[in-house]
Amino acid sequence: MSDPASFSRSITRKAAVGGDKMQLSTITAEEWATVEEAAKKPWDEIAAESEVKVRVVAQSKEYNEAMEKAGSAYRYS
């Protein structure tokens, strides 16, 4: 495994499956909605940096809107 990210994911999977130091936690839909809303705030600032970023941000917003309309069954399966 020469890719550091791949190595990190491998270690995380091993810890999640066989380790005793990780705990499963949950977040309510209402709490998650606040996280998603907070994540949207910097998008317009990022888009203001360049034309390429305008297009990337627009595509991201469009994708997220489609996923919201699709519902949680398609977002968190």
pLDDT tens figures, 44-60? 999 999 999 999 999 99
Long-range CB contacts (within 8 A, 24+) of 24-32: none
- What pLDDT is stored for residue 1 in this prediction? 47
CB 75, CB 67: distance < 8 Å: yes
Closest CA to 61 of 41, 31, 33, 35: 41
Residues 60-70 pLDDT 10s:
999 989 988 88
Residues 15-50 pLDDT 10s:
666 666 667 788 888 998 898 889 889 999 999 999
pLDDT at 11 over 50: yes
**pTM for the full model?**
0.56
Question: Can you tell me the distance from the alpha carbon of 17 to that of 70, in angstroms, rounded to the nearest whole number?
Answer: 31
- What pLDDT is stored for residue 53 in this prediction? 96
